[in-house]
Amino acid sequence: MSLKLGVPSKGRLMEKTFDWFARAGVHLSRSGSDREYAGTVSGIDGMSLVLLSAGEIPRELAAGRIHLGVTGTDLIHEKLPRWDRQVEPLAELRFGEADLILAVPQFWVDVQTLDDLDAVCAAFRRRHGHRLRIATKYHRLVREFLRQAGVSDYALVDSQGATEGTVANETAEAVADITSTGETLRANHLKILDDGLILRSQATLWQSRVSQFDAAGRAALDDLNSRLLARA
């Protein structure tokens, strides 16, 4: 059994991950066409590459079907309850940085903080007879964040597309989404609450706490760890 490494299967995240490992002397490549999800590893013995979507990697780590995986902090925290019992971070890759934030319409001039939002939620329900809607892909993280802040009388609505556009489309009154520059939020006339930072995220190399290692896999992990230490 080799040390199985899960890496995002496409786009800049895959390319940057390949570059990051190459700087440690571990060369990853896709086998065949872009439609194939197999890969090869050179430069280190006993490691194999599995190409997955970034969203699948937390699940595969938690199930122990891969030993290592590269994915965002946001996906690990969102998809894995008690994530720290299932995975542990080995290295932050210093790319893919983004913030999970809570944003409201810019014309809500009196809404700057979570306390303001809580008051708006209560007034919104009295006026409209239903709860203020917050569009997001991150139900677990947003719900826990708002619970800790004491915000109630809201409803999370699922967004799998362009979350920032849901307010303009009148399918939500506020959004919780990932942003790196804030440009898309501003283009959609949204503003981040002063205390609306939910999570800072970046691409990270994670190790499964539940996967099983044989001697070859353990040796490969020790080799990789020594390379990472040398780069630190």
pLDDT 10s digits, 48-64: 999 999 999 999 999 99
Beta strands at 190-201 and 98-105: parallel, antiparallel or unpaired: antiparallel
Given pLDDT bands bounded at 50, 70 and 90, which one contains residue 148?
very high
Q: What is the pTM of this model?
A: 0.91
- Give CA angle at 192 (171, 102), nearest 5°: 55
- For the 98-201 domain, the top CATH level (class) is alpha beta
- The C-alpha atoms of residue 105 and residue 196 are separated, in whole angstroms, by 13
- In this prediction, residues 205-216 reach a mean pLDDT of 94
Q: Sorting pLDDT into bands at 50, 70 and 90, what band is 34?
A: low
Within the chain, all domains assigned CATH 3.40.190.10 are found at: 3-96+203-231, 98-201
- State in Å, rounded, how far the first CA of the chain is from the last one: 28
Q: CATH topology for 3-96+203-231?
A: D-Maltodextrin-Binding Protein; domain 2 (3.40.190)
Question: Which one-letter amino acid corresponds to residue 21?
Answer: F
Alpha-carbon span 80 to 62, nearest angstrom: 8
What is the reported pLDDT for 66? 96
